[in-house]
Amino acid sequence: MKRILILILLSVSFGFINSQNVIENNTPTPNYRAASKYSPTNIAKMVHSTSVRPNWLKNGNRFWYQYKTTEGSKYYIVDADNRTKKELFDNEKMARWLTEITKDPYDAKHLPKFDFKFVKNETAIQFYVTATEQVEDNQDEEEGEQKTDTTSTKKKKNKPKMVNKVYHLEYRLGGNSLTVLSNEKKGKEEWKQWANIAPDSSIVLFSKNFNLYWMDKANFLKAVKNAKDSTIVENQWTTDGEENYSYGGRTRGENNETKLKNKDKRKFVGGIWSHDSKKFVFQRRDARHIKDLWVINTTSSKRPTLETYKYHMPGEDEFYKTEIHVFDTETKTNIQVKLDTVKQQSIQIYRAPRKKSIYRDDFQPSLLLSKKGKIYFNTISRDRKKLDICVADLNTGEVKVLIEERFNTYIETRPLVLFNNETEMLHWAERSGWAHYYLYDAEGNLKNQVTNGSYHVERAIGVDEKTRTLYFTAHGIPKDQDPYYEHMYRINLNGTGLGALNSGDFNTNIDMADSNKYFVSNYSRVNTVPKSELRDSNGKVVMQLEEADLSQLIASGYKFPEPFKMKADDGITDIYGVMYKPFDFDETKKYPLLEYVYPGPQTEAVNKSFSVRMDRLDRMAQLGFIVVTMGNRGGHPDRSKWYHNYGYGNLRDYGLADKKYVAEQLADKHDFIDIEKVGIYGHSGGGFMSTAAMLVYPDFFKAAVSSAGNHDNTIYNSWWSETHHGVQEEMDEKGNTKYKYMIDTNQELADNLKGHLMLITGDVDNNVHPGGTIRMANALIKAHKRFEFMLMPGQRHGFGNMTEYSFWLRADHFSKYLLGHEMTDIDITEMNRDIPKKK
């Protein structure tokens, strides 16, 4: 042994063996083929449905759903009351009928994608199918467009426009045939882009040239048939609307060319209707005094386009001014709710819960929470520390404050629950340090606390008024489980009788019927096969619905990730995470560690249920890394308010110590983790955090890829920045309120960079402006640092069709700097391999 060691040392001395190779011979070689194998496109071929999404029907406690496996898609109808589950139709018969009618071949496994409409009191379904047969397009004539140009008419007669033939079909449930209703294609339904229809369909509202317009039902039906019909009568209601102080018709996302093109078009006006259709409530926001921000799309057709939009940045003294207008549809008058518009505050109007039993193509107008002439709403101060729940009279605009909440950090909200003929209401608050429901009377008097304890109530699902039972979802009630797992519970409104309705060591997602009698529960962990079941309001399993088909995925070599629990940097707080390994994992090798981060505070990037979104996690691991996601103090709100608000006032550094300390604990526990090679990456807030980690702990984090990061939060939107970091109100000598916002930015630490950093941004990102990334690059250049920078042309915040390209940029970066292997080919062959070449 001694002799071998001497020989190795001599060989190194004379250059026969590279010392770096001796040290790193246990580092894996990057496996690009495996990462390509688990691309989103390839995953979609192996994994299909993983949950049941019920489409609740109006008659009884029934729903239909589609579920896809390796055997194709099947459609089922479930009757919960009768405990039955049947196929909506026989796939073999449906394939035969479609083949006979359309003359296109179908089989049971390869049916077209259906979009059903239930008709005839839910005894039949209607749908459209497009055939390959070409027919002459007569849609223009059907819509009433008149051709006056004889030349164009002659040209059309000689060369008619050909389109695929469409079949509008009907199937009676339990029947033995399909009926062809017509060959007219489904209308474009452009009216859905602009029409806000009253609940009784008597009047339709829309915006035009920034003002409110209306038309009656007869004229609306003309517009549905032909939007350009010159006989349509439009009625202008307001005259004082203007850009950035309008009655609907927002221009966000439009550029200088599309604004001009669309300026005279009908546009949608968002608002809330009274249940009797007599009143329409609209929030008008004055943003004229808010400063502009811009992005330029250089890849637009013809010349580059300029997009101008209002964008409020933290600490700016100006703020949005909101008014609440009430329009009377009978008298065509309007009043304003009596608000203090000088006060800087945000306003949210409470809406009635939407029914589940609404067909997909039904118009479902937003309705006021109250049916009795009241507007329930809340106001939140600009610093987010003061919440008032108010009620306004729909006819007079008079306002009364019902409930007040005050806190030294920001206040979170949930929808108000109004019930018992509007004599009682449930209010969600974190006043005890945990989120719970409180029962009030209609005058704002507290009756009792409903839920209570060291757990987080997420949301109300429904109230059974007869039994006075609240159904809700919550986190952290079972103390032996991951506190992020969500379950459904019920409790009496007097605070007694708490009971779990879908217990188990899983994360669940529920969908409850309007009757509150049944709910679909989808459940899994990151390391289990997703399953779906139907339960009743007592929590009893009515029937098992589905189990996801992962057979092809498992056969490909897939292995589930591993959940873990470690301590935060304080040595006390539990941190929950997930570890993703290469599927060809070799415990004798030393793997670099990658952390995928998103700090929140509104969420954490840690999967709790099985997910097929592997492009950022499982897929990165296949290259030859151990990839982990984990929480951090100041992260997810589904725990205590202390945990959630830990980063208040320190929005840059608050989560970094936990990320570092958990990585060290994992390396202590697992010999296969190389703690000397730690990389970090993330998008948006994760882009911000990953760069901060490189600069705050430059000797620990060795490489990072930061995409679309808000590196300079002084130019990110004020709502997020001022909420989660805080803004200080100050009074000047004249008695005017000023706002002070001080926050650490990433570029302040540019001198600290030691590792290898890549910055990526989209050039038309109107959420996290590219200026944040460019300022970071500017600071690094001035600090004489080497780094990599990529601009994604024409891309918004999510990178769109360049997402796959950004994955391989990330793969190249970490392969080069953590695995010691640099890709030098010009082509990204992994992207080209499966793309058919043009002949």
- Tokens representing 745 are 């930015």
- Tokens representing 761 are 């941004």
Whether residue 24 is predicted with pLDDT greater than 80 in this model: the reply is no
Flag whether 16 is in a domain: no
What is the spatial order of strands in the sheet that 179-182 belongs to?
117-119, 124-136, 162-172, 179-182
Give residue 342's pLDDT. 82
Residue that is last in its domain, among 361, 376, 409: 409
Contact 587, 572 (CB under 8 A): no
φ/ψ of 382, rounded to 5, equals: -55, -35
CATH, residue 534: 2.120.10.30
Residue that is last in its domain, among 540, 555, 570: 555
Give residue 438's pLDDT. 98
Q: Which of 544-553, 659-668, 728-737 has the lowest mean pLDDT?
A: 728-737
Flag whether 229 is in a domain: yes
Give residue 20's pLDDT. 38
Domain that holds residue 63: 57-144+159-189
Averaged pLDDT for residues 274-292: 97
At how many degrees (to 10) do helices 656-669 and 685-696 cross? 70
400 C-beta neighbours (distance < 10 Å), count: 11
Give residue 301's pLDDT. 81
pLDDT tens digit sequence for 698-724: 999 999 999 999 999 999 999 999 999
Whether residue 760 is predicted with pLDDT greater than 70 in this model: the reply is yes
Is 259 found in the same domain as 210? yes
In angstroms, the CA 250 to CA 428 distance is: 32
Averaged pLDDT for residues 361-370: 89
Averaged pLDDT for residues 223-227: 90
Q: Token match 């008058």: residue?
A: 333
pLDDT tens digit sequence for 48-97: 999 999 999 999 999 999 999 999 999 999 999 999 999 999 999 999 99
Give residue 250's pLDDT. 80
CA angle in degrees (0–180, nearest 5) for 636-640-645: 60
Is 127 found in the same domain as 216? no
Percent of the chain whose pLDDT exceeds 90: 83
Averaged pLDDT for residues 757-775: 97
Is 458 found in the same domain as 533? yes
Task: Write the DSSP symbol of residue 442.
Answer: T
Averaged pLDDT for residues 96-118: 95
Q: Give the CA count within 13 Å in the CB-facing half-sphere of 465.
A: 10
Averaged pLDDT for residues 326-337: 96
Is 562 found in the same domain as 551? no
Flag whether 29 is in a domain: yes
Q: Give the CA count within 13 Å in the CB-facing half-sphere of 400.
A: 10
Q: Which long-range contacts (CB under 8 A, 24 or more apart) does 351-357 make?
A: 351/272, 351/415, 352/275, 353/415, 355/514, 356/54, 356/56, 356/511, 356/512, 356/513, 356/514, 357/56, 357/57, 357/58, 357/513, 357/514
Flag whether 288 is in a domain: yes
Averaged pLDDT for residues 799-809: 95
Contact 424, 442 (CB under 8 A): yes
**149 pLDDT tier (thresholds 50, 70, 90):** very low
Flag whether 781 is in a domain: yes
**584 pLDDT tier (thresholds 50, 70, 90):** very high
Residues 6+ apart with CB under 8 A from 267: 193, 194, 206, 207, 208, 248, 249, 250
Give residue 19's pLDDT. 35
Q: Is the entire prediction scored with pTM above 0.95?
A: no
More confident residue, 833 or 745: 745
Whether residue 1 is predicted with pLDDT greater than 50 in this model: the reply is no
- Tokens representing 280 are 């329409």
Give residue 717's pLDDT. 93
**152 pLDDT tier (thresholds 50, 70, 90):** very low
Averaged pLDDT for residues 635-662: 95
φ/ψ of 3, rounded to 5, equals: -65, -40
Contact 280, 205 (CB under 8 A): yes
**140 pLDDT tier (thresholds 50, 70, 90):** low
Give residue 184's pLDDT. 87
Q: Is 496 helix (H, G, I), strand (E, B) or coil?
A: coil
Strand intervals (E) in 442-540? 446-449, 456-464, 469-475, 486-492, 499-500, 507-512, 518-524, 531-536
Mean pLDDT, the chain, whole residue set: 92
Is 584 found in the same domain as 517? no
Provide the number of structural domains found in the chain.
4
φ/ψ of 549, rounded to 5, equals: -90, 100
Q: Is 815 helix (H, G, I), strand (E, B) or coil?
A: helix
Give residue 839's pLDDT. 63
In angstroms, the CA 708 to CA 765 distance is: 8
Averaged pLDDT for residues 734-759: 93
Flag whether 48 is in a domain: no
Give residue 799's pLDDT. 95
Q: Is 693 exposed, middle or buried (0-12, 13-18, 19+ CB in 10 A)?
A: buried
Is 347 found in the same domain as 458? no
